[in-house]
Structure formats: structure tokens, C-alpha cells
Amino acid sequence: MNYNQLTSDQKLKIKNIAELKAAGYEPKSIKQELRDNLIQRLRKKEEVFSGIWGYEETVIPDIERAILSMHHINLLGLRGQAKTRIARLMVNLLDEYIPVVKGSELNDDPLQPLSRFAKDLVAEHGDHTPVEWLHRNERYTEKLATPDVSVADLIGDADPIKAATLKLPYSDERVIHFGLIPRSHRGIFVINELPDLQARIQVSLFNILQEGDIQIRGFKIRLPLDIQFVFTANPEDYTNRGSIVTPLKDRIDSQIITHYPKNSEIGKRITKQEAVVKKGQDSLVKMHEIMADLIEQVAIEARSSEYVDAKSGVSARLTISAYENLLSAAERRALVNGEKQTLVRIGDLWGVVPAITGKVELVYEGEQEGPQIVAQNLIGKAIRTLFLNYFPDPEKTKKQKSNGSNPYRSITDWFGEGNTIDLMNDMSNQEYRTSLLGVKGLRELVKERHSGLDESEQLFMMEFALHGLAEYSQISKNGLTAGLQFKDLLSSMFSGSNFGKDDFDDDDEDYGGKKRKY
């Protein structure tokens, strides 16, 4: 009988060692198991790490090479780079079920018993030793490294209660209470944020990684544990919390560097996959693709901003939370106005500020509202960057005098005549439409550049054009208590307004050479 050809149902019917031997079972290390199953997946061209985007040509091939090499792995990268997700997906490369000695604490292989309990049971019952089956999901153990983690937690310690209950001396190994690592025998053990583990605890892992055994106090015990270790860590200079001790790093066979998405398209795919659209939101709220692009662009701007700590990184959780907040901002507005459907607006982006402020670390905080101002300006920079994908560059058309060559002239002239427009956060769809249609030349600009749009999309592009013109200092954008006001740039200067924009660019002439300090 070929054990490898048995179905899961057939395996589960095997109840003792005799039946296991008859089925042709042979012990296999977990690293060999991972390697064999990966080889099968690769030959069949099956996806190994589903739902992981942007790593197809970088991280995933490195991980597959490490598994084929039967290596322990360290995933090194900034926060929000799917390190833990990758480790959890490795479970899918395990066999669905493996046999263990029934009642064993350490998942003992029936043909290679490890613990004292299993050895005694096999010695007593021989081929009639009972066998049970362990599912692959039960072979994954994850531990977050914190300063209070002890050697007893990971490795084990003598248990005085067990000694008293069993009436055994402390010299008997049966009084040992095994920690997480021995209990992960024949499984995957993950330690998240390895640098946070105290140095003396990291030292306790040396023997496990190199020789595969453990040492517990004064016990003369050697357990050749069979474990696939996966560690995750931020770069050592990420924080002052700690680092990986050099001898431990030397014992980790493969260190794989993760990274953020290389472009916004990959970022959007990740965000839409992870963001939770609540029940009812999908029918009540519609979103233009530009809004998804803007969310990703905010993260891109943050990662390159001199005001955001690059060592800390900008997690993918920022875009996921921002996406969810954006939908909720539009949903709230529709509920307040009793509307059955609404389209996400550019103005709704200010509702995602709370999702940004908690996920970016500033180089220095400055005033109390520093994070909020930085978040607002990151949104502004995202609008400024994407605006050129849909409309002509305002800076190139700024000096063109005739209306025919400058597509924005009629709009800026309308504001120059003293007109203003207020776009409040909770405006109804009808109020929103009336306000935008009142701006001379705005609808004509959108129709000329983007024909074939329905009315809601036209209104969206009209608002986008206003925000873009404000970011390029063609008009002024000022914050109101619950919305924004667009007006002429010169009138804002004379009234002492900040004209709705606190840009950080050194070369922005509209600020008279002044820069906001933090």
C-alpha cells in the first residue's frame, strides 16, 4: 500500500501503529514535508502564496528557494509588508493530516517517539499503540515577542505541582512542563518582532536552531525537535527596542527582505482585497476609480515625505483603513440626507485624516496639530500628483492670456469677480450639484476633457478640477468648520488667509518664501 496515495478519510481510519505500518507510512521531517509539497505545487504551476501581491518576482521566489533549501527563515521589513501573512500561508504546504501518538504533548511520531510519555506508551503497547491524527492548522504556533517573554514560556520549566501530583522527584524529567517550542514539534513556529525578544531569551534559541535540542535547567535531556522556524523583524535600526543578537542571526539560514508595493496598481489590489466593505455600503455608496488611486497616492507621498520617518515606514494598513473611512464618510452623508445612493466625493477625503494620523510617524511632532496638518497636506499632494493625469498642467497654462489656449481662464476669472463656492461635508446630492454647476466654465472644462460621463461622474470630475486648481495655486481653498470654501487667490492674500493650503515645498512662491515649521 502506498501511504502517499491514501485520501484523508482513509488515513483517519488508521487507529494504531500496526495499521500505520501496513499503510506504508514512513517518518518525514517537517522541512522535507514542506519541500516535497512545494515541489508538487511548482510542477503543477499552482499558486503557493495566494493573496500576496507585488512579491511575485522578489519575495516569493526567495521564500520558495529557502523552503527548497530546508532553511529557517527571517522575514525582514517595515510594518505592514505582509510578513506574518506569508508565515501563516506556509501552513498550506503541510500535509493535511499527520499521525501522532495519542495523548502525546509533543506531537510524537508513532515510529519515532520523542517524549518520555510516548516512549513508555510504545514500549508498553508496541504495534497496538493508539494513533490519532493532527490537522495542519494545528501545527502552526505563533508567538509575539514581548519583553516579558521568559525561557519557561518558550522552552519549559520544572512544574512543582506536577511533581507533587505524580509524587516524583525533581530529577525526573516527567515533572517538566514543556513550553511553546517543544509543543510545536513537527510544526511551524513563528516568532513575530524578534528584536523585541530580550537578548538572554534569544540566546536560549541557539541550540534549538543549530543542534535541534533543548536544555531545561539541570535536566540531562536531549530532545531532537523537528521544527520549521519563521521569524519576522523590522530593520534593527527601526526602533530602540532592541535588535537580533549576532549569533542568533548567524543561525537563521535565510533572511528575506520584504518591501512595499512598487506601484499604485498593486497597492490598490491589496487595499481592495483587505478592506472590509460593510453590509449595505456596496449598494449605497459608489466609488470612482480616481478615489482609489488617491488613497494609494497618499501612501506613496507619505513614504517619500521628508516629514515622515522613513525608518518607521508607512503600513499598508493606512490605505486599508483610509479606504474604509472613505466609504463610511460617504455613507454617513447619504444617511444624514436620506439618500438612496451617493458617489464618493473628493471632499470625503478629509474624512480619512484619522486613518492617516495614527499610521505615520513624523520626524518631529512640533505643534499639537502637526500630524493632522501633515495628513491634510499628504492628501493635497496626492491630488496634485494625479490631477495631471486627467487635466492639463495649470503651471504651463498659467501665463497663457487668451481663453482659447488656457482652459482654466474662465474658471479663474469667475472667482476673480468675487464669486465663491462652499462645498460642505454633508451637502445633499442636489446642493452639491447646484453649487458646482454655478461655477462658470467648470462643466465645459470637464465635458471637453472627459466626454461620455454620466452626471454624477461629471460632478465628481468638476470637484476634482477645483481641488486640483487649488493645489496648483490657481484659486484658493480654505477650510471651514465642516467643509471647504473655494475663492479667488488674490482676495485670500489680501484678507490674510492661508488660501487653504499649507504646502511644504521650498519653491512655492505663493508663500513668500515662508515654510511651516514643526
Query: How far apart (Å, rounded) are the C-alpha atoms in residues 76 and 59?
Result: 11
Poorest-pLDDT segment among 72-76, 115-119, 398-402, 450-454: 398-402
- How far out from the chain centre does Cα 375 lie? 19
Strand pairing class (476-480; 483-487): antiparallel
Q: What is the pLDDT of residues 264-293, one digit of tens each?
A: 999 999 999 999 999 989 899 999 999 999
pLDDT at 218: 63
Helix then strand count (H, E) for the chain reads 24, 14
Q: What is the pLDDT of residues 97-146, one digit of tens each?
A: 999 999 999 999 999 998 889 999 999 999 999 999 999 999 999 999 98
pTM: 0.84
Beta bridge partners of 308: 362
Is the CB of residue 305 less than 8 Å from the CB of residue 382?
no
For 349, how many CA atoms within 13 A lie in the half-sphere containing its CB? 28
Centre a 10 Å sphere on the Cβ of residue 416 and count the other Cβ atoms it contains.
15
- Average pLDDT of the residues in 141-166: 84
User: Is residue 512 over pLDDT 60?
Assistant: no
Strand 227-233: give its sheet, edge to edge. 140-144, 187-192, 227-233, 73-76, 254-257
Query: How far apart (Å, rounded) are the C-alpha atoms in residues 507 and 505?
Result: 5
Q: How confident is the model at residue 237 (pLDDT cuts 50, 70, 90)?
A: low
Q: How confident is the model at residue 236 (pLDDT cuts 50, 70, 90)?
A: low
Is the CB of residue 379 less than 8 Å from the CB of residue 350?
yes
Query: How far apart (Å, rounded) are the C-alpha atoms in residues 81 and 234?
Result: 10
Query: How far apart (Å, rounded) are the C-alpha atoms in residues 515 and 263?
Result: 30
High-pLDDT (> 90) share of the chain, %: 63
DSSP 427-484: --HHHHHHHHHTSTTHHHHHHHHSTT--HHHHHHHHHHHHHHHHHTTSSEEEEETTEE
Round the average pLDDT of the chain to a whole number and report it. Answer: 87
Pull the grid cell for residue 64.
520558495
Pull the grid cell for residue 495.
484678507
pLDDT at 359: 86
Centre a 10 Å sphere on the Cβ of residue 40 and count the other Cβ atoms it contains.
11
High-pLDDT (> 70) share of the chain, %: 89
Centre a 10 Å sphere on the Cβ of residue 437 and count the other Cβ atoms it contains.
14
Q: Which residues contact 369 (CB under 8 A, 6 or more apart)?
A: none
Is the CB of residue 386 less than 8 Å from the CB of residue 457?
no
Per DSSP, 362 falls in state B
Is the CB of residue 88 less than 8 Å from the CB of residue 2?
no
Per-position b or e across 169-205, b if 16+ CB within 10 A of its CB = eeeeeebbebbbbbebbbbbbbbbbbbbbbeebbebb
- Average pLDDT of the residues in 497-505: 43
pLDDT at 240: 53
- Average pLDDT of the residues in 31-52: 95
pLDDT at 291: 95
Per DSSP, 219 falls in state -
pLDDT at 175: 77
pLDDT at 368: 45
Which of 247, 249, 205 lies closest to 225, judged by CA? 205
Sign of the Cα pseudo-torsion (436, 438, 444, 445, in order): negative
Who has greater pLDDT, 495 or 193?
A: 193
User: Is residue 514 over pLDDT 50?
Assistant: no
Map residue 141 onto helix, strand or coil: strand
Query: How far apart (Å, rounded) are the C-alpha atoms in residues 368 and 383?
Result: 25
Q: What is the pLDDT of residues 306-365, one digit of tens each?
A: 888 887 888 889 999 999 999 999 999 999 999 999 999 999 998 899 999 888 888 765
User: Is residue 174 over pLDDT 70?
Assistant: yes
Poorest-pLDDT segment among 339-343, 406-410, 503-507: 503-507
User: Is residue 447 over pLDDT 90?
Assistant: yes
Which amino acid does the sequence have at 322?
Answer: A
Map residue 227 onto helix, strand or coil: strand
User: Is residue 58 over pLDDT 50?
Assistant: yes
Query: How far apart (Å, rounded) are the C-alpha atoms in residues 174 and 498?
Result: 74
User: CA of 340: how far to CAs of 5, 95, 330, 345, 428, in Å?
Assistant: 56, 50, 12, 16, 11
- How far out from the chain centre does Cα 387 lie? 27
N-to-C CA span, the chain: 73
pLDDT at 55: 96
Strand pairing class (73-76; 254-257): parallel
Query: How far apart (Å, rounded) are the C-alpha atoms in residues 465 and 449?
Result: 11
Q: Which residues contact 400 (CB under 8 A, 6 or more apart)?
A: 406, 409
- Average pLDDT of the residues in 385-399: 88
pLDDT at 500: 41
Pull the grid cell for residue 23.
499503510
Query: How far apart (Å, rounded) are the C-alpha atoms in residues 371 and 369?
Result: 6
Query: How far apart (Å, rounded) are the C-alpha atoms in residues 28 and 93?
Result: 14
